[in-house]
Amino acid sequence: MRLERAQQYETVAGRIDAALAAGSLAVDPIEPWDTSITPYSYARMRADEAANRGIPDIFSYYFRCTACNLRFNLLCEVYHGSGGHWIAVPD
């Protein structure tokens, strides 16, 4: 899905957090995040966000479904107005 507004990012991130906690989703062990644009892990980013320490202007994280191993990408560009996506991506 396209993320057009910050509220959509929060909804998707909330679902990701719930799926990580439930074990149905895992941080991708091969490529946890796009190191060219994303400075640190999803867990740290969410912790910083929760503590109002701010988040990167742009970030891209990878996850895997623990049932079928399908890879997903969360991309957000906060600086330019919350553009981004949550999509399945092929290996």
Nearer of residues 12 and 55 to Zn ion, judged by Cβ: 12
Give the total of residues touching Zn ion (CB under 5 A): 4
Closest to 65 measured CA to CA, from 1, 11, 20: 20
Q: Please report whether residue 88 would count as binding Zn ion according to CB under 5 A.
A: no
**Which residues, 2 to 61, sit near Zn ion by CB under 5 A?**
none
Nearer of residues 50 and 88 to Zn ion, judged by Cβ: 88
Q: Please report whether residue 67 would count as binding Zn ion according to CB under 5 A.
A: yes
**Cα separation, 88 vs 63, whole angstroms:** 9
Cβ-contact 72, 63 below 8 angstroms: yes
